[in-house]
Structure 1
Amino acid sequence: MTAPSPSAAAPRCVLITGATGAIGGALAHAYATSTTHLVLHGRNRQSLDELAIACREKGAHVSLSTASLTDETELNAWLDMLCTEHVPDIVIANAGINTHPGENTLEPWDEVQALLDINLKVPIAMAQRLVPAMQARGSGQLVFISSLAGWHGLPTTPSYSASKAGIKAYGEGLRGLLEPHGIGVTVVMPGYVTSPMCNAMPGPKPWEWSPERAANAIQRGITANRARISFPFPLNFGTWWLAVLPAGISQWLVKRLGFNHTEGA
């Protein structure tokens, strides 16, 4: 099954949240063509403006937003406004944050709540608002950003792992639900991608990719409407085994690989 095609009468509309992040920015560059209307969302207006200039130089039509994704009223108003102009053809819910435990402590609760809001609740809220419009049109593509940490929870990032496992399961379930309506759903499970978020993560970072390499792999998978895009292969294969092996063995392997301690421990 290939990705549903937008109408030839209008440029393809690609919505990317978290566009000022490493993967989001690389995806914006990858999709920036003269036949694409990019809708870029980010928190840093200056970085967003700079990204828009670069994408416009490639010929793309670009719209920007700094709407609060966690304010339900503001989020819904923004998405409804977009849909009155052109229902997005591809929606990449890329915005995400991370938090880590301190020495011998859990992650701060306010940081956990903010993480779950952005990583899990916001993508689901976006789907709730956009799917009816995509159903009415009969086409669309939803892309959810999970992580290889979604295969097995890491002691260095337990709440992040939980949020990514949750959005993985949601996307997998939604794919079967929406397929009869002409809507594709893709779950992306990256490994380590060079970025400030990646740099801040404790523990080793094997097979780290550049944002551009990650964006190219993601774009190819979206075009093919793949159910899952996971990379790099060696790390994906290893973390997949953590999910299927007996829990005691998996926990032993995680400890032996150096993911059992946090900063300051």
Structure 2
Amino acid sequence: MQSDAVSGAANTAAAPLVFITGASSGIGQALAARFHADGWRLALVARRTDAVQQWLRDSGIPAEKAQVYAADVQDIDSIVAAGQRCLAECGLPDVVIANAGISVGMDSAERDDLDVMRDTFATNNTGLAATFHPFVAAMRAQRRGTLVGIASVSAIRGLPGHGAYCASKAGVVAYCESLRGECRPFGVKVVTLVPGYIATPLTAGNTYGMPFLMQPSEFADQAFRAIAAGTSYRVIPWQMAVVAKLLRVLPNPLYDRVMAGRGRKKRRGE
């Protein structure tokens, strides 16, 4: 994606297209609103398409500006089919944002929580790769496009009771870095966005402190600018980038003391 295309999208005859998963709420919905505000066409993916359609109506976004696709990113064939439909109906997106994700606490002593880990990886990792899959070859052939992976500051260090999510988001960072090296020779950009705490349904049930909590619209505005610039890696907000760097260099004994007594993410069913 070129930054001049971002700023001038509303004035072009054929507006650029963004493909976003997890578009029914939270970050995905906020990103959709931000791109639409700049004149982009939307291809929105969610399991709950009725919620997306209602949001489009409430937001006054005309039908010709948005296509909605039903898919479950845990199901590889489902999300790949959604991407293929987008290609057939709307053309090649300029930006693909793999945003869909889940966050559930786990305890490895509990057998059922191994299923939680399986489902988390299926959504946050395999689902992310499957989201990109339909578009990679076409983007490489046309030597354009941007693939955006949504990670988390939870990727920086493991949090007690949050092993599945932390591990999956660390995987997102490593995967996107690998993909960036594969796509760079073809002129395709890969952007890794690393949100801190964002006020979404994913964080609403957290029982612990969430420093520098951001509203989704504020995150989306900063994310939009990072994508436009083709930034390879960006922690949002910047304050969390500082915290993340400090946590990364803390010796393990000190980090363990800092984390002692910290609230845990709720497990499935709690």
> Residue 224 of structure 1 aligns with which residue?
229
- Which residue, out of 15, 18, 38, partners 1:14? 18
User: Unaligned 5+ residue runs, structure 2?
Assistant: none
User: What RMSD, in angstroms, separates the aligned Cα atoms of the two structures?
Assistant: 2.7
**Is contact 2:56–2:62 with CA below 8 Å preserved after alignment?**
no
> Residue 52 of structure 1 aligns with which residue?
56
- 135-144 or 199-208, which moves further after superposition? 199-208
CA displacement, residues 16-57 of structure 1 (integer Å, 9 cap, x when unaligned): 100112111111110114742200111222211122224553
Equivalent residues in 2 for 1:23-172, closer than 5 Å = 23-33=27-37, 35-54=39-58, 56-57=60-61, 61-85=65-89, 86-101=91-106, 105=110, 108-172=113-177
Amino acid at match of 2:26: A
> Residue 249 of structure 1 aligns with which residue?
254
Change (3 A) 1:106 1:228: farther
**Is contact 1:33–1:60 with CA below 8 Å preserved after alignment?**
no
State how far apart, in whole Å, the 2-side matches of 1:25 and 1:91 are. 14
Cα displacement (A) at 1:260: 5.8
> Residue 237 of structure 1 aligns with which residue?
242
- 114-123 or 46-55, which moves further after superposition? 46-55
State how far apart, in whole Å, the 2-side matches of 1:185 and 1:262 are. 30
Change (3 A) 1:88 1:263: closer
**Is contact 1:41–1:65 with CA below 8 Å preserved after alignment?**
yes
State how far apart, in whole Å, the 2-side matches of 1:92 and 1:126 are. 8
Cα displacement (A) at 1:197: 1.3
Change (3 A) 1:38 1:245: same
CA displacement, residues 119-145 of structure 1 (integer Å, 9 cap, x when unaligned): 111111222332101111110101100
**Is contact 2:19–2:44 with CA below 8 Å preserved after alignment?**
yes
State how far apart, in whole Å, the 1-side matches of 2:214 and 2:112 are. 27
- Which residue, out of 251, 257, 262, partners 1:259? 262
- Which residue, out of 184, 189, 194, partners 1:189? 194
**Is contact 1:186–1:222 with CA below 8 Å preserved after alignment?**
yes
CA displacement, residues 220-243 of structure 1 (integer Å, 9 cap, x when unaligned): 100111111212233321222222
Amino acid at match of 1:190: P
SS in 2 for 1:197: coil
State how far apart, in whole Å, the 1-side matches of 2:50 and 2:134 are. 28
- 27-36 or 129-138, which moves further after superposition? 27-36
Cα displacement (A) at 1:201: 2.4
Change (3 A) 1:98 1:133: same
- Given the two structures, how large is their TM-score scaled by the length of structure 1? 0.88
Residues 1:208 and 2:200 are matched in the alignment: no
State how far apart, in whole Å, the 2-side matches of 1:196 and 1:70 are. 19
State how far apart, in whole Å, the 2-side matches of 1:175 and 1:3 are. 19
State how far apart, in whole Å, the 1-side matches of 2:208 and 2:69 are. 34
User: Once the two structures are aligned, what percentage of the paired residues are identical?
Assistant: 29
- Which residue, out of 183, 186, 192, partners 1:178? 183
CA displacement, residues 141-161 of structure 1 (integer Å, 9 cap, x when unaligned): 011000000000111311100
